[in-house]
Structures are given as structure tokens and as C-alpha cells.
């Protein structure tokens, strides 16, 4: 029996576990070899959290974090890991354990899009390679950026709950997750509201059922109330959204194009265009295709709106957003897998997909090798500085530190003084 037939016969749970273990295993290996034993770069900014925790001060949990987000789940993770580590700061181990979150998210999306839909060994290989290679290096190497991981998990879970549950159970679960989203990344919560507004409008256009129109209007009203309250409370990540109107139109249009044809999302714009063209030429209703799969419908809307949101008003598409693009890349792969094309076109598209995945892989390993080298220099620099400070009382200054740690000499001394290592 071929591997493809075996994959078709296994349960959703086993399919999920295969990808979850693969993704998590490779992330653990990559971090084990390339991540510093000390807090990496900007992580030093969070030394106050741990000093406060030693003094039973939890106020930081409910403050706006340094990354201009509430980041409640990242900060809660800090608390949990710190206590279970016997009040020691062990960033490498914590970052490795936290890879469970993106591994779950990617595996859920893969399972609900591709279970019993994989058609070739080439495709399953491409899917595995694409999913095991981390997309955002900033999020991958810095624990403090894990709010992006939690946000993606929240979004995917909301979509799955809408697909799998009904009635009051669905309503209360989604409301609970919206609250979680607000206390993680307040601005991205606006995007989730907009996704559902668009989703219900399209469902109304498709089915002509009044309930969907009422859902859309209700969602939009709640969005306006949420935005108004957040603006009045001076939530900085929400206030920043008003700067979009002052941005360069030409720059935003360029970034939108780049977002839809980005290597990390496998040229999503191309596969959306080809899907639309394919349904038009075959005179089939595209919405009927989506009607059978609310999760896919929501994922496509998410892909479009998240690209617009990270492009409008920005100077560039920042590295930290690439995990969002990787999720949209799974949508690209799904649409590619579903396209019914002549062999020559299929080979052409397979070549494009293969080149993009190969490029992403090479790009990651290039950065991985640089991190491996930098990590050794960084750790030796800190070993010497901390040893001299503890034993000889020589102050840690920027002159004796690696370039990545120069700005944080005072934070490093505070961490040593408070016995965080």
C-alpha cells in the first residue's frame, strides 16, 4: 500500500499528530543548536518582570507590554515558566517548550484542510517541508514575540469552533476567544471582527437568509463599539490604526501586491486568481465550493484581510508578520491541490511551488547558520562579562559585550544582582 493511501486511511487525530510531532521536533532541533542560553537581544528588556515576580508583583500582567500589545498569554507564560523553574530565568528551555503553540496551530490548519485530500507524494513532501521551516525568525527566537503564536492559535480555534459547533455553545466559546484575543493583540481583534462581517455578508448574498444579514450588522456594530471604547481608553495599538490615512498610497499598494505575491505565502494572489478563473471557465459557482467548508471560507477571508492589514500604512512587511503569511501559504497549497488543470500547467505550477519552498528553506538555513555562529560569540561574551562582574566586581559595560547585548548592560547586571540565572 502506497504512503498516500495509508495517509487517506488514518484518522484525523493521527494525521494531526504526525504533523504536530514533525513540526515540533524540527523546531526543537533548530532552537537547541542555534538559540543562546541567555536572553536573546531584546529579551533583556523584560528583566523587570522577573524582579517583580520575586517580590510578588503581578501588575505587569495587565499593562500594555513593550511590544505595544497587551500580550497577556505571553506574560502569563513568563509567570508559569518562572515559577516552575524555581524562580530562574531559563529563556532557551522556555522558548523550546513554547513551540508547542505554533506546532498545534499549523497542524490544526493542515489537518482540516488536507486530511484525505493529498494526491501525490510530491505534494505531501512539499507540505511537510513548508510546515517544518519556521517563517518568522523574530518570533521563533524571541519568547517575547510569542503573542503572535497565541494570536494565530486563537484565530484558527475561532474558525474551527464556528465550523464544528452550533447554537449557544458556539456563541459563548467564540465570545470567550474574542476576549482572549483582545487581551493578546487588541488591534488584530479588529481584523477578526471584519472577517466575520465579510463572511456573514457573503453568506447572505449566497443564501438570502436574513439571519446572516443580521449577524453581519450585529458584528459591525459590536466592532464600532469595541473600536470606540479602545480609542477612548487610549489603547495604543488601536490608536496606531488611525495613522493609515496618513500613509503613502503608492507604498501601500506596492505592499499589498507584495503581500499577495510573497514567498512565505506561496504567491497566494496567483492561486486565488487561478481558482477564480478555473470556476469561471467551468461555469461553476465558487460560493457553493466554499459553502461546504466554513473553515476554508474563513481562512480565505483571513488570508485576504490579514495581507491588507499588514500592508496598509506600513513601510514594509515586517519579519514578525511572516507567521501570518505562512498560515495563508497553507491556503495557497490547498487551492493549488484543488485546481483541475492540464498536466503542463500543473507541472508549471508545481515548479513555482517547489522553487518558493526551496527558497524559503535556503533562506531559513542561511539565517540558522548565522545564528549558530552568533550564538557562540554572544554566549562567550556574556559568560566572561557575568563571571567578571560576580567574581571581580567589574561592571558590565557595552565595551565588553557582544553587539546584540551592548544596549542592555544595566539589565544584565540587574538580572545577576537578583540571581535570575
Q: Which among 177, 147, 78, 64 is positioned nearest to 320, based on CA atoms?
A: 147
CA 53 to chain CA centroid, Å, is 28
Rounded distance between C-alpha atoms, residue 277 and residue 367, angstroms: 38
Model confidence over 204-231: pLDDT tens digits?
Answer: 988 888 999 999 999 999 999 988 888 7
CA torsion angle 335 340 343 348 (round to 10): -30
pLDDT given for residue 104 in this prediction = 97
pLDDT given for residue 292 in this prediction = 77
**What confidence tier does 176 reach under pLDDT thresholds 50, 70, 90?**
very high
Got the DSSP string for 168-216? Answer: HHHHHHHHHHHHHHHTT-HHHHHHHHHHHHHHHHHHHHHH--HHHHHHH
Q: Using CB atoms within 10 Å of the CB of residue 195, give its burial: 0 to 12 exposed, 13 to 18 middle, 19+ buried.
A: buried
Q: Is the pLDDT of residue 29 over 90?
A: yes
Residue 262 φ/ψ region, left for φ over 0, alpha for ψ in the -120 to 50 degree band, beta for the rest: beta
pLDDT given for residue 330 in this prediction = 96
**What confidence tier does 65 reach under pLDDT thresholds 50, 70, 90?**
low
pLDDT given for residue 404 in this prediction = 82
Are the beta carbons of 265 and 325 closer than 8 angstroms?
Answer: yes
Rounded distance between C-alpha atoms, residue 370 and residue 381, angstroms: 17
The reported pTM is 0.92
Are the beta carbons of 313 and 243 closer than 8 angstroms?
Answer: yes
| Mean pLDDT for the chain overall | 88
Rounded distance between C-alpha atoms, residue 177 and residue 238, angstroms: 19
Cβ neighbour number for residue 167 with a 10 Å cutoff: 7
What percent of the chain stands above pLDDT 70? Answer: 94
Q: What is the three-class DSSP state of 331? A: helix
Model confidence over 229-249: pLDDT tens digits?
Answer: 887 776 766 666 655 555 677
Model confidence over 95-154: pLDDT tens digits?
Answer: 999 999 999 999 999 999 999 888 889 999 999 999 999 999 999 999 988 999 999 999
Q: Which among 287, 309, 308, 290 is positioned nearest to 299, based on CA atoms?
A: 290
More confident of the two residues 406 and 234: 406
Model confidence over 255-272: pLDDT tens digits?
Answer: 889 989 999 999 899 999
Work out the average pLDDT over 286-303.
84
Rounded distance between C-alpha atoms, residue 207 and residue 393, angstroms: 74
Model confidence over 358-391: pLDDT tens digits?
Answer: 999 999 999 999 999 999 988 898 888 888 888 8
Are the beta carbons of 395 and 388 closer than 8 angstroms?
Answer: no
Q: Is the pLDDT of residue 59 over 90?
A: no
Cβ neighbour number for residue 137 with a 10 Å cutoff: 19
**What confidence tier does 281 reach under pLDDT thresholds 50, 70, 90?**
confident
More confident of the two residues 283 and 384: 384
Rounded distance between C-alpha atoms, residue 345 and residue 201, angstroms: 34
Q: Using CB atoms within 10 Å of the CB of residue 107, give its burial: 0 to 12 exposed, 13 to 18 middle, 19+ buried.
A: buried
Buried b (16+ CB within 10 A) or exposed e, 144-160: bbbbbbbbbbbbbbbbb
Are the beta carbons of 136 and 322 closer than 8 angstroms?
Answer: yes
Rounded distance between C-alpha atoms, residue 359 and residue 223, angstroms: 39
Are the beta carbons of 29 and 372 closer than 8 angstroms?
Answer: no
- How far is residue 135 from each of residues 16, 319, 357, 359, 385, measured CA to CA in Å? 20, 8, 11, 12, 33
Q: What stretch of H or E contains 298?
A: helix 294-311
Q: Is the pLDDT of residue 339 over 80?
A: yes
Are the beta carbons of 75 and 57 closer than 8 angstroms?
Answer: no
Q: Which among 46, 199, 15 is positioned nearest to 118, based on CA atoms?
A: 15
Work out the average pLDDT over 50-64.
82
The domain locations on the chain are 149-359
Are the beta carbons of 161 and 393 closer than 8 angstroms?
Answer: no
Amino acid at each position: 500500500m502506497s504512503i498516500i493511501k495509508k495517509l487517506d486511511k488514518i484518522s484525523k487525530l493521527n494525521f494531526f499528530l504526525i504533523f504536530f510531532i514533525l513540526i515540533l521536533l524540527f523546531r526543537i532541533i533548530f532552537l537547541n543548536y542555534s538559540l543562546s542560553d541567555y536572553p536573546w537581544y531584546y529579551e533583556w528588556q523584560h528583566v523587570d518582570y522577573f524582579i517583580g515576580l520575586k517580590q510578588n508583583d503581578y501588575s505587569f500582567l495587565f499593562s500594555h507590554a513593550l511590544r505595544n500589545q497587551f500580550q497577556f498569554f505571553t506574560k502569563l507564560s513568563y509567570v508559569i515558566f518562572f515559577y516552575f523553574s524555581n524562580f530562574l530565568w531559563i529563556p532557551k528551555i522556555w522558548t523550546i517548550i513554547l513551540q508547542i503553540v505554533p506546532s498545534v496551530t499549523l497542524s490544526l490548519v493542515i489537518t482540516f484542510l488536507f486530511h484525505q485530500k493529498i494526491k501525490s507524494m510530491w505534494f505531501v513532501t512539499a507540505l511537510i517541508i513548508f510546515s517544518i521551516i519556521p517563517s518568522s525568525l523574530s518570533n521563533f527566537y524571541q519568547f517575547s514575540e510569542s503573542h503572535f503564536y497565541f494570536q494565530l492559535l486563537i484565530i484558527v480555534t475561532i474558525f474551527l469552533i464556528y465550523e464544528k459547533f452550533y447554537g449557544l455553545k458556539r456563541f459563548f466559546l467564540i465570545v470567550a476567544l474574542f476576549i482572549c484575543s483582545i487581551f493578546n493583540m487588541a488591534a488584530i481583534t479588529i481584523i477578526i471582527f471584519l472577517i466575520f462581517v465579510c463572511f456573514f455578508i457573503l453568506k447572505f448574498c449566497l443564501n438570502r437568509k436574513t439571519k446572516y444579514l443580521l449577524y453581519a450588522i450585529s458584528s459591525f456594530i459590536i466592532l464600532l463599539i469595541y473600536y470606540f471604547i479602545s480609542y477612548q481608553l487610549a489603547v495604543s495599538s488601536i490608536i496606531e490604526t488611525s495613522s493609515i490615512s496618513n500613509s503613502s498610497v503608492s507604498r501601500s499598494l506596492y505592499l499589498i501586491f507584495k503581500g499577495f505575491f510573497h514567498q512565505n505565502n506561496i504567491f497566494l494572489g496567483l492561486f486565488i486568481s487561478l481558482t477564480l478563473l478555473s470556476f469561471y471557465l467551468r461555469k461553476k459557482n465558487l460560493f457553493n465550493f466554499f459553502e461546504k467548508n466554513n473553515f476554508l471560507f474563513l481562512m480565505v477571508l483571513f488570508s485576504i484581510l490579514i495581507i491588507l492589514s499588514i500592508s496598509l500604512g506600513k513601510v514594509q512587511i515586517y519579519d514578525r508578520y511572516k507567521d501570518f503569511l505562512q498560515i495563508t501559504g497553507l491556503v495557497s497549497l490547498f487551492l493549488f491541490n484543488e485546481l483541475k488543470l492540464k498536466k503542463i500547467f500543473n507541472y508549471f505550477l508545481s515548479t513555482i511551488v517547489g522553487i518558493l519552498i526551496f527558497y524559503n528553506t535556503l533562506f531559513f538555513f542561511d539565517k540558522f547558520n548565522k545564528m549558530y555562529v552568533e550564538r557562540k560569540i554572544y554566549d562567550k561574551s556574556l559568560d566572561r562579562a557575568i563571571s567578571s562582574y560576580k567574581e571581580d566586581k567589574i561592571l558590565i559595560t557595552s565595551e565588553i559585550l557582544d553587539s546584540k547585548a551592548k544596549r542592555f548592560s544595566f539589565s544584565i547586571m540587574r538580572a545577576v544582582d537578583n540571581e535570575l540565572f
